[in-house]
Amino acid sequence: MVKTIKLDASSRKEKQKESKALRRAGIIPAVLYGQKEKNVNLKVKRQDVEKIFSHHDATGLIDLSIDGSEPIKTIIKDQQSDAIKGDIKHLDFYKVNMKHKIDVQVPLHFINESKAVKELGGMLIKNIETLEVKCLPAEMLDKIDIDLSLLNTFEDHIKVSDIKLPDNFEVLNNADDVIVHVMEPKVVEEEQPAVEVETTEEAKPAEESSAQQ
């Protein structure tokens, strides 16, 4: 299960110019919304957010305190990042109802080694790195382990349907989607060197022989 993280936020006015100034000052613009909830524009300290991302996973529950008020149970629903630097530019917080199931993305954690990679020289291909599940907020998972030791040959693969979760979890991905498999290495055929044929007096062209007569 995931741990609940505490985060302080302040309310703000929605202005494009203000958002740019906030980012320069080490502040990240954000918004809070939920079912039948009015959007609330917020701002959070970049150092606080980066601390969360470095020590925890962004899929966890967050106790969000706005202007020092009683914390609200939220999750990070979306984030916008700079395409070049990777810095977080904006965060979406979603207010959750602890009695209602929510859709969340759970990171896949690949463990152990594949025999097809280690001994047969294959290449590990990860098609899916997060799984979308529906569950109660209090039951959210911080990760799902995927055992690579099950991949012994190039025919082996792990599909979404192979993942076993508690009955109260609903997996939203296509059950037939392949999560991970091992690709067989390509065999590169060596080019055979061209055989040089030595030209002898007997093999000279007819016209050359005629010229010498």
CATH superfamily, domain 103-183, is Ribosomal protein L25, C-terminal domain (2.170.120.20)
Predicted confidence at residue 36, as pLDDT, reads: 83
- Taking alpha carbons only, the member of 18, 42, 21 closest to residue 30 is 42
Contacts of 84 (CB under 8 A, 6+ apart): none
Summarised one tens digit per residue, pLDDT across range 19-38 is 888 888 999 999 999 988 89
Predicted confidence at residue 190, as pLDDT, reads: 67
Least confident interval from 127-141, 155-169, 177-191: 177-191
**Secondary element (H or E) of residue 19:** helix 16-24
Cα 116 to Cα 4, 113, 163, 179, 182: the distances in Å are 39, 9, 20, 16, 7
Question: What is the residue extent of each domain of the chain?
Answer: 5-96, 103-183
User: Please, how many CA atoms are within 13 Å of residue 85, restricted to the half-sphere of its CB?
Assistant: 5
Residue range 5-96 forms a domain whose CATH class is: mainly beta
Predicted confidence at residue 100, as pLDDT, reads: 95
Q: Which residues of 19-58 are buried (b: 16+ CB within 10 A; e: fewer)?
A: beebbeeebbbbbbebeeeeebbbbbbbeebeebeeeebb
Secondary structure of residue 17 in the 3-state scheme: helix
Predicted confidence at residue 52, as pLDDT, reads: 83
Predicted confidence at residue 212, as pLDDT, reads: 52
Give the residue-averaged pLDDT of 156-170.
96
Cα separation, 80 vs 4, in Å, equals 22
Cα 68 to Cα 8, 56, 63: the distances in Å are 7, 23, 12
